[in-house]
Chain A
Amino acid sequence: MRKRIFLSIIFAALIASCAKEERVIKIGVAGPLTGDQAKVGQDMRNGVLLAVEDANSRGGILGMKVKIVEMDDRHDPKEAVSVAQKLVADKDVVGVIGHLNSGCCIPASDVYRMAGMAMITPSATNPEVTRRQLSPDWGPKNVFRVCLTDDVQGELAGKFAIERLKVKTAAVIHDKSAYGKGIAMEFEKAFRRYGGKVLTVEGITQGDEDFSAVLTKIKGMNPDLIYFGGMFREGGLIVRQAKALGIRAIYMGADGLYTPEYIRIGGQASEGSIMSFLAPPWDKFESVRDFIRRYNERFGEIQTYAPYAYDAANVLMEAIKRAGTTDRRKVSEEVARTKGFKGITGTITFDEKGDNVNKRVYFYKVSGGKFVLF
């Protein structure tokens, strides 16, 4: 008797779940939604959310509503692989926007590759992220990015340091992550090539608070410039401790520092530091202005990559529309064919590597607690 009741409950539940199901298109969003980098991870998620809501207000894609599936990778490469597997296992997920960090993109992209699922990162800048799929055993391309790469960013930063800042010696610090170390190495190469001298390259640990030992060592070398490859938390702590130690070198970083969080953590010490980013100031950026206004009303201040996440999501949804199906492999093929897509951050065209051909870098300086164009 009891068994029969049990079975009928299960049966009823099955029927209910079938009846409820309405076909939706799911888009994965994967990035650090909690922890140290939560602010920038949520920023990316918010950008995708706005894009999806816009699409739904226009009636969805292929007659279906679009839904996002959020995944938290806590900027941990191991976690990235496991959330990638979860996304792949969900049959309704057509493509992924993410991950935020290069170190997460690289291992996760292997998982997406097996499923033929497209992954578009709005923010991971390490060249390896897309370069890996050029190898002959990779199969069809599935990894794309709308931002620029560190070889471009590091190269231009090295040139900028020599030619515009007129410095001769530099100390390089990185956080040992794929992004931080990658861009630091690119900077080092370029800085040397343009005639500068790199006095030392030091690695630090993400999550650490005390950098006084390594900064004391650098202080003894008296460099003109300290270049930091890494994210805003460590970047902000380092600039603070460098000032406290009486280091007067110019402090320079990359897009990992281009977020208001960096200024909040670095405080007064962050004044005068310099960083590179791929977009002009948001308020001078005509096509983004409307997005920024809506974003501010809804979520507050923009952190770093939200507009790029918005574009990445639209590139994916356009590809689904063009493909006319939710078949993952067909969608990936269509994403690869993206050409001249008019996004809010500019025109997006993917080259043979899956990178956006648009390659410009702007340099900013912190002044009065704000980022101003250098």
Chain B
Amino acid sequence: MLLQQLVNGITLGGVYALIALGYTMVYGILEFINFAHGEIFMVGAYIGLLSVGILPEGSPPFLKLLFCFAFSCSLTGILGVLVERVAYRPLRGAPRLAPLISAIGVSIFLQNVVMLVAGSENKVFPQLFPSGGVRISGVDISYIQIFIISLSFAIMIALHLFITKTRIGTAMRATAQGMEVASLMGIDVDRIISLVFLIGSILGAVAGIMVGMYYGIIKYTMGYIAGLKAFTAAVFGGIGNMPGAMVGGFAIGILESLGAGYISSDYKDAFAFLILIAVLILRPSGIMGERVSEKV
């Protein structure tokens, strides 16, 4: 049972980690919390649903899956960049509270747009995966769980390599350390920021589709709790710190599953937030906080 709970927790954690990366990358550079990120995740799921409907009925599931991810990631990525251009860039020199409030506005706006366009009821997400699974020493792992865990790991490794090994990655780290100095070194800071929003939103879209496929239903309010938990994960790992967000995501997912399984399922949501309070009191910079100076 412990192993089974761990598998559940890691699946959940992979999703949280992907969303948490979006929060932490933006914070690393702009030092503000993009509260609209949960909604980006939700929009990603809805666009994914839309894309499955575009393809003709009998297309092979593999093609549907690929198209679903490609279509949703590109549109959601563009949306993320647009949001930054319209709602955050004009406020770059403003007091810190201004972009935060702008982000809350974007969040409310996106929720309501989706509600008006798609309706307020639960939408059933089509099953693109065979429903079975494998059984390893008494632990049932469904194919979709295997898919979520391996895809989230692959994305995180790729992102890590991108940030540490490529020139653009270096430019991103430089921007995170000091925007003005980076621009003096010839880095186009605006482009780097757009890129960060693009990557963050793509990760959000991937997480959104994963949640849609895993649970089978999506709803326009789904970004709220998921966003809050991912934000908790980002703070848990040390906000602004990318490996921290990944570790934080898995930690929150696992702790939530174990808490609900062994202590009480009535308080499942409370565990994540209890951890947040504990971290903020005991170690305000997060568990990997000593590396916060590196930021992205």
Contact = CB atoms under 8 A, between A and B. Distances in A.
Interface residues of B, number: 38
15 contacts: A205-B266, A209-B211, A209-B215, A212-B8, A213-B256, A214-B260, A214-B261, A214-B268, A216-B1, A216-B5, A217-B262, A244-B140, A244-B142, A245-B4, A245-B140
Contacts of B144: 244
A35 interface: yes
Given A210-B12, A212-B8, A213-B5, A244 B133 contact: yes
Given A217-B1, A219-B1, A220-B1, A264 B269 contact: no
Interface stretch (B46-54, B101-109, B117-125, B200-208): B117-125
Interface string A233-245: 1001100110111
Contact of B265 (A202, A219, A268): A202
A152 B131 CA distance: 37
Contacts of B261: 213-214, 216-217
A209 B11 CA distance: 13
B170 to A, nearest CB: 38
Interface string B193-225: 000000000000000000100011101011001
A15 B220 CA distance: 45
A34 B131 CA distance: 31
A237 B222 CA distance: 14
A204 interface: yes
Contacts of B215: 209-210, 237, 240-241
A192 interface: no
Contacts of A267: 124, 127, 216
Contacts of B269: 205, 208
A209 B122 CA distance: 11
A140 interface: no
B135 to A, nearest CB: 7
A35 B120 contact: yes
Given A38-B120, A267-B127, A233 B135 contact: no
B81 to A, nearest CB: 28
B257 interface: yes
Interface in A185-234: 202-205, 207-214, 216-217, 219-220, 233
B217 A214 contact: no
A213 B121 CA distance: 25
A132 interface: no
Contacts, number: 99
Given A207-B221, A213-B257, 11 more contacts: A36-B219, A203-B265, A208-B268, A208-B269, A212-B12, A214-B265, A217-B265, A244-B144, A245-B4, A265-B122, A265-B216
Contacts of B219: 36
Nearest to A209: B215
Interface of A: 34-36, 38-39, 176, 202-205, 207-214, 216-217, 219-220, 233, 236-237, 240-241, 243-246, 261, 264-265, 267-269
Contacts of B1: 216-217, 219-220
B126 to A, nearest CB: 10
Contacts of A269: 131
A216 B216 contact: no
A213 B265 contact: yes
A219 B131 CA distance: 18
Nearest to B224: A207
Nearest to B140: A246
Contact of B120 (A34, A205, A261): A34
Given A208-B268, A219-B1, A233 B142 contact: no
Contacts of B217: 209, 233, 236-237, 265
Nearest to B142: A244
Interface string B115-150: 000001110100100010101000010101000000
A245 B4 CA distance: 9
Contacts of A244: 131, 133, 140, 142, 144
A39 B268 contact: no
A236 B121 CA distance: 14
A217 B219 CA distance: 27
Contact of A36 (B122, B142, B264): B122
